Amino acid sequence: MVGLVIVSHSSKIAEGVRDLAGQMAPDYQNLIPAGGLEDGSLGTDPMKILDAMKTANEGDGVALLVDLGSGIMSAETAVELLDGEFPARIIDAPLVEGAVVAVVEASTGASLDEVVAAAEESRGELKL
């Protein structure tokens, strides 16, 4: 099953997105938050993201949902540090909407490519 990592500058945001998205597929247990720095301050840490990816991986790869700016750069660095150990992709989608779609798709046993494609479709969803 594809694992998912939520990357945010805030641990509270990462955990909140995990909690919200997790409600859509309560049996899916592979949604790991990677937010904030170890001391609790705001920021992103490639090593924390790398650890989360290793926790989330069950053999089918990991997709990462990111908030913005240096969160994207930290996620890219973490993927590079993974050095091809297993497939990992960064999803280009809104954090919350993308996470909800990704969790639902991943919970069906979809492939990494299918999870990424479905979540990236959420970019075009209108709210009004």
Residues with active-site annotation: 9
Phi and psi angles of residue 65, each rounded to the nearest 5 degrees, phi first: -110, 130
> What CA–CA distance (Å, rounded) separates 55 from 102?
17
Residues ≥6 apart with Cβ < 8 Å to 100: 20, 21, 24, 122
Instruction: Tell me whether residue 109 is exposed, middle or buried, using C-beta atoms within 10 angstroms of its C-beta: 0 to 12, 13 to 18, 19 or more.
Output: exposed
103 closest CA partner among 8, 46, 19: 19
